[in-house]
């Protein structure tokens, strides 16, 4: 078959001395690793990583550039069939957020052509004797900090890996300072991966219209970015901070099931576990240690159980100029959500770096409970609205001077004693979660139970 190249994107992948380079339509974007991590990898593994990274970083781009597909110089990725399901299940939420039709998104993705090199696909596995260590996909958010803390409590050496997205303008500086502090205080190894390829998600810099498309394979993609570190350190685990909220879904505007972070769900975390176990012949696992908890319970566990780490929390994208000197912009829905959780638990927000009161009337548009126009992503979906309402109800008693909170709390459903009791049990409860490695499950539940003062039976 003859492909008209002007109808296709051209993607070329190349192995370099310190990582990989992805060429998109004539321009190069790199991913760089430390010398001692990348160089020792077998050529077969390097080439397979290149196959997966080239595909997973770009397979949505024909949708935003209105192309028929992509012509690659790389081979069919070994785990290609896994990526299809994650992409498909992400499309209903993307359509909802973009105000488009799900069937159009499904049809357009289904009909794409991906043309690969005629070389034989690479199939490999590498068994090793694992160390009692874990890579922690590190953002310095509440999830990754609690994961870091739980690893230490479990006697597992945590190795934080931070992948810096180029569109997050001021984020790297803040996270580098935090990681340096963690290294100084706790003696941990850490790595920051320079990830120029992440610019593909930046609509303005790449020249396409803003869209929610393209995030369906993100955690699978990150798993492959982490793989050289797994093999270098021979870690037994790779932990993502996937929480209970990541399993929540609603019907979208057309009746399709929509999970706004499907690739962080317990089901998909288990799928990634299967992939990593296949590639390492059972030597390494993927999981989440914070999966049994709702967001407000994660905050409570972190601040009450591990205050020495809680002070490093940052959960803002750091795109606003104000974050040049602050790690919270105090003007986005992620900041608003975390501010509500902290205030609900009567935690001093200044201690963690909040520099203005987000309960001011001018900032209420960032809260989904107040039908904020400035909410994004998960906050805009409405899935976290009930937990935020519960948090604001609790926060109201610590902020009696705030008129908006007091007016809200007067009319809240949580004034009903039975409703409030059930909310406490649910939001501060420890729930059944399938994506914790089985050998760690009881210990993790025991630690969380001690902090939350809950008697918990664990299914083995």
Q: Which residues contact 347 (CB under 8 A, 6 or more apart)?
A: 299, 303
pLDDT of residue 369: 83
pLDDT band, very low/low/confident/very high, at 71 (cuts 50, 70, 90): very high
Is the model more confident about 324 or about 413? Answer: 413
Are 413 and 407 a contacting pair, CB within 8 Å? Answer: no
Q: What is the pLDDT of residue 325?
A: 84
pLDDT digits (tens, 9 = 90+) for 114-135: 999 999 999 999 999 999 999 9
User: If you average pLDDT over every residue of the chain, what do you get?
Assistant: 93
Structure tokens that stand for 142 in this block: 């509440």
**Distance (Å, whole) CA 198 – CA 201:** 6
Nearest to 91 by CA among 104, 77, 76: 104
Instruction: Give the largest Cα separation in the chain, rounded.
Output: 71
Distance, CA of 346 to CA of 394 (rounded, Å):
9
pLDDT tens per residue, range 358-379: 999 899 888 888 876 666 666 6
- Distance of alpha carbon 40 from alpha carbon 37, whole angstroms: 7
Q: Where are the domains of the chain?
A: 293-451
Over residues 189-207, the mean pLDDT reads 93
Over residues 260-276, the pLDDT tens digits come to 999 999 999 999 999 99
**172: confidence class by pLDDT, cuts 50, 70, 90:** confident
pLDDT digits (tens, 9 = 90+) for 173-195: 888 999 999 999 999 999 999 89
Cut 0.85: pTM above it: yes
Nearest to 71 by CA among 119, 2, 5: 5
Q: Which of 76, 79, 441 is nearest to 271 (CA)?
A: 79
Can you tell me the mean pLDDT for 346-364? Answer: 92
Spatial CA neighbour of 386 closest among 349, 343, 422: 422
């Amino acid at each position: 078959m003859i492909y008209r190249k002007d109808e296709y994107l051209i993607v070329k992948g190349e192995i370099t001395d310190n990582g990989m380079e992805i060429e998109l339509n004539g321009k190069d974007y790199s991913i760089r690793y430390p010398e001692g991590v990348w160089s020792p990898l077998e050529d077969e593994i390097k080439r397979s990583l290149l196959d997966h990274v080239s595909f997973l970083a770009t397979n949505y781009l024909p949708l935003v550039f209105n192309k028929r597909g992509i012509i690659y110089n790389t081979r069919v990725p070994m785990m290609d069939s896994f990526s299809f399901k994650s992409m498909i299940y992400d499309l209903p939420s993307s359509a909802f957020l973009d105000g488009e039709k799900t069937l159009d998104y499904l049809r357009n993705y289904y009909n794409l052509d991906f043309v690969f090199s005629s070389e034989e696909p690479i199939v490999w596995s590498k068994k090793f004797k694992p160390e009692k260590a874990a890579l922690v996909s590190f953002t310095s958010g509440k999830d990754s900090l609690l994961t870091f803390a739980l690893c230490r409590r479990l006697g597992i050496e945590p190795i934080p890996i931070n992948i810096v997205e180029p569109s997050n303008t001021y984020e790297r500086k803040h996270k580098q300072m935090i990681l340096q502090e963690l290294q100084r205080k706790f003696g941990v190894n850490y790595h920051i991966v320079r990830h120029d390829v992440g610019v593909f998600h930046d609509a303005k810099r790449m020249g396409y219209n803003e869209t929610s498309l393209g995030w369906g394979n993100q955690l699978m993609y990150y798993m492959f970015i982490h793989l050289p570190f797994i093999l270098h350190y021979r870690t037994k685990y790779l932990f993502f901070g996937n929480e209970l909220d990541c399993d929540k879904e609603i019907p979208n505007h057309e009746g399709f099931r929509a999970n706004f972070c499907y690739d962080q769900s317990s089901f998909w975390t288990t799928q990634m576990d299967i992939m990593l176990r296949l590639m390492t012949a059972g030597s390494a696992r993927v999981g989440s240690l914070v999966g049994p908890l709702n967001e407000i319970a994660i905050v409570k566990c972190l601040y009450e159980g591990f205050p020495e780490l809680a002070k490093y929390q940052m959960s803002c994208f750091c795109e606003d100029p104000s974050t040049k000197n602050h790690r919270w912009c105090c003007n986005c829905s992620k900041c608003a959500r975390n501010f509500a959780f902290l205030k609900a638990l009567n935690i001093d927000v200044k201690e963690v770096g909040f520099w203005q009161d987000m309960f001011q009337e001018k900032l209420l548009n960032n809260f989904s409970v107040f039908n904020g126009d400035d909410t994004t992503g998960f906050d805009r979906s409405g899935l976290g609205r009930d937990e935020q309402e519960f948090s604001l109800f609790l926060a109201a008693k610590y902020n009696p001077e705030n008129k908006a909170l007091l007016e809200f709390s007067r009319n809240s459903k949580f004034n009903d004693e039975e409703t409030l009791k059930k909310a406490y049990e649910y939001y501060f409860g420890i729930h059944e979660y399938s994506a914790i490695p089985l050998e760690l499950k009881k210990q993790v539940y025991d630690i969380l139970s001690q902090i939350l003062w809950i008697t918990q039976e664990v299914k083995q």
